[in-house]
């Protein structure tokens, strides 16, 4: 008799989904974030003190890099539907290292802008490719794998940032160059590890009945156009709502420091501690909470508490402007906790829904489009958050309310609906990912005879 989820052995709960390649890609994520943490904390200072750029020039350089980087996710997604994802990821990692290494060769502003922009493109592409690899290698356990990977990445980032802080106490040109070279070395190491990973199987569809007939007509040329996210209005709307729901990133990184300094009696030193609190909560809660979003229906249900957490954070942030030092400090910490909870839950929901709504044969293209949401937020978010700080306390509950509206709109948008060619392909993809024993008899491959009804509820598709 199969075990229920509550009886899964503890050792199995600790296991990393995806086998050896899943564990290897987890190491890749940690090393990547260590290198990124080392360099990100020093990049602005490198351009200022080593390349001798002005603050305005650095702003233009980073802005132009961000604009070019927006093309990375959709480009990577399209390529991943046509070529092995591991090889594209390897190429992206090597391109990131080469573009970064090129910064050491010149002080010319135009070339620095060019190399930075060329590095931003594969950098944004890598995040989509890593997500796609994880979805394929972990299969039905992709939510747990994503949670473990995100936790590991936060640990790696913290280690890298601590190393950068130690190196920057020296403050010499050599120290900045060492940090840059350390990040380049991290790309070389993860490139070797990625090269050793086997290519995970791309999603295939298990079809029966009318769906099988549709698939046959597609292969015969009767269906002219392949599935594309740019014609999928629901997925486009879903991605658009994601831009707003990713605002927690700008609120935590930009909004909190500005608000603490300009509007509260909280100590200025609380600002960097907010990011420490954020990392600690992500490391502690990401994996345990992942079990609440292991299916499309569960991920959809998470949108309600996500909205509640956003609203709580907005109200607490507004209240922080109306008290003394201790009241403001407690209110700011409460707001940071609420926004971090929203971030954790949204990462779980967003991960599952972005994959569940994508048909298997165009999964890369769909995830590439979804990757534009974070890129869009990075451009829009600081502007929105800066405006909220300027308006004053009333702006934060209003912003929280708009995030609640976005959650409710997305909750309605991703609800199950009547089958269309695009949604039917998605359903077939999801059917393939579920273990055969957990599917209804009507959904099993035709080669497998239907089993008699079970006398007790079937076990969940996920073991954790």
Q: What integer pLDDT is reported at residue 445 of this predicted model?
A: 46
For the residues of 400-430, what is the DSSP string, one character each?
Answer: HHHHHHHHHHHHHHTS-----HHHHHHHHHH
Helix, strand, or coil (residue 434) = coil
Q: What integer pLDDT is reported at residue 183 of this predicted model?
A: 94
Q: What integer pLDDT is reported at residue 261 of this predicted model?
A: 86
Map tokens 């509820």 to a residue.
457
At 63, list the tokens. 């802005």
CB-based contact 303:410 (threshold 8 Å): yes
Q: Convert 102-141 to b/e letters by CB count within 10 Å (16 or more is b).
A: bbbeeeebeebbbbbbbbbbbbbbbbbbbbbbbbbbbbbb
Map tokens 């090597």 to a residue.
94
Question: Please, which residues have CB within 8 angstroms of residue 425's CB and are 6 or more apart in sequence?
Answer: 205, 227, 359, 360, 361
Instruction: Find, among 79, 36, 81, 31, the residue nearest to 194 by Cα.
Output: 31
Digit-coded pLDDT (tens) for 72-97? 888 888 888 888 999 999 999 999 99
Q: Packing angle between helix 270-289 and helix 256-263, nearest 10 degrees?
A: 140
For the residues of 223-273, what is the DSSP string, one character each?
Answer: S-S---GGG-HHHHHHHHHHHHHTTHHHIIIIIHHHHHHHH-SS-TTHHHH
Helix, strand, or coil (residue 108) = coil
Digit-coded pLDDT (tens) for 183-212? 999 999 999 999 998 888 766 433 333 333
Q: What integer pLDDT is reported at residue 348 of this predicted model?
A: 93
At 114, list the tokens. 């060019």
DSSP secondary structure letter of residue 315: H
Instruction: Find, among 347, 351, 344, 349, the residue nearest to 281 by Cα.
Output: 344
For the residues of 27-66, what is the DSSP string, one character each?
Answer: HHHHHHHHHHHHHHHHHHHIIIIIS---HHHHHHHHHHHH
CA gap 126, 107 in Å, rounded: 27
CA gap 182, 168 in Å, rounded: 14
CB-based contact 112:51 (threshold 8 Å): yes
Q: How many helices (H) and strands (E) does the chain have?
A: 19, 0
Burial class, 334, CB count within 10 angstroms (exposed 0-12 / middle 13-18 / buried 19+): middle
With a cut of 50, list the residues of the chain below it in pLDDT: 1-13, 204-226, 418-464
Count CB-CB contacts under 10 A for residue 158: 18
Q: What integer pLDDT is reported at residue 171 of this predicted model?
A: 75
CA gap 366, 79 in Å, rounded: 12
DSSP secondary structure letter of residue 439: S
CA gap 331, 327 in Å, rounded: 6
């Amino acid at each position: 008799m199969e075990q229920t989820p509550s009886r899964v052995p503890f050792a199995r709960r600790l296991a990393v989904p995806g086998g050896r390649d899943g564990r290897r890609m987890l190491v890749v994520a940690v090393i990547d974030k260590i290198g990124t943490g080392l360099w990100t904390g020093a990049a602005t200072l490198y351009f200022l003190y080593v390349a001798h750029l002005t603050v305005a020039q650095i702003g233009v350089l980073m802005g132009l890099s961000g604009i070019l980087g927006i093309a990375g996710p959709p480009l990577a997604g399209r390529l991943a539907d046509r070529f092995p994802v591991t090889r594209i990821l390897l190429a992206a990692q090597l391109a990131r290292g080469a573009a970064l290494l090129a910064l050491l060769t010149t002080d010319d502003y135009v070339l620095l802008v060019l190399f930075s922009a060329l590095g931003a493109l594969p950098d944004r592409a890598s995040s989509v490719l890593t997500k796609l690899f994880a979805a394929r290698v972990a299969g039905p356990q992709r939510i747990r794998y994503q949670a473990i990977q995100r936790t590991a990445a936060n640990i790696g980032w913290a280690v890298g940032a601590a190393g950068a802080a130690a190196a920057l106490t020296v403050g010499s040109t050599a120290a900045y160059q060492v940090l840059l070279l350390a990040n380049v070395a991290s790309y070389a190491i993860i490139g070797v590890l990625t090269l050793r990973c086997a290519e995970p199987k791309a999603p295939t569809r298990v079809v029966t009945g009318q769906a099988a007939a549709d698939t046959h007509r597609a292969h015969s040329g009767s269906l002219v156009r392949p599935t594309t996210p740019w014609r999928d209005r629901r997925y486009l709307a879903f991605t658009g709502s994601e831009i707003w729901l990713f605002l927690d990133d700008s609120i935590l990184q930009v909004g909190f420091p500005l608000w603490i300094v300009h509007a509260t009696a909280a100590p200025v030193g609380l600002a960097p501690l907010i990011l420490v609190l954020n990392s600690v909560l992500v490391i502690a809660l990401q994996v345990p909470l992942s079990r609440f979003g292991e299916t499309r229906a569960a991920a959809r249900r998470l949108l309600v508490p996500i909205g509640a957490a956003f609203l709580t954070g907005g109200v607490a942030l507004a209240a922080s402007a109306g008290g003394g030092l201790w009241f403001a400090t407690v209110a700011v910490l409460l707001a940071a906790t609420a926004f971090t909870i929203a971030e954790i839950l949204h990462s779980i929901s967003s991960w599952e829904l972005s994959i569940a709504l994508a048909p298997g044969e165009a999964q890369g293209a769909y995830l590439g489009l979804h990757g534009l949401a974070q890129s869009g937020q990075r451009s829009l978010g600081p502007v929105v958050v800066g405006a909220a700080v300027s308006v004053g306390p009333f702006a934060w509950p209003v912003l929280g309310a708009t995030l609640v509206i976005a959650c409710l709109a997305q909750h309605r948008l991703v609800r199950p609906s009547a089958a269309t060619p695009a949604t039917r392909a998605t359903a077939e993809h999801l059917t393939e990912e579920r273990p055969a024993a957990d599917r209804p008899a009507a959904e099993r491959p035709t080669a497998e005879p239907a089993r008699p009804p079970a006398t007790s509820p079937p076990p969940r598709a996920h073991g954790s």
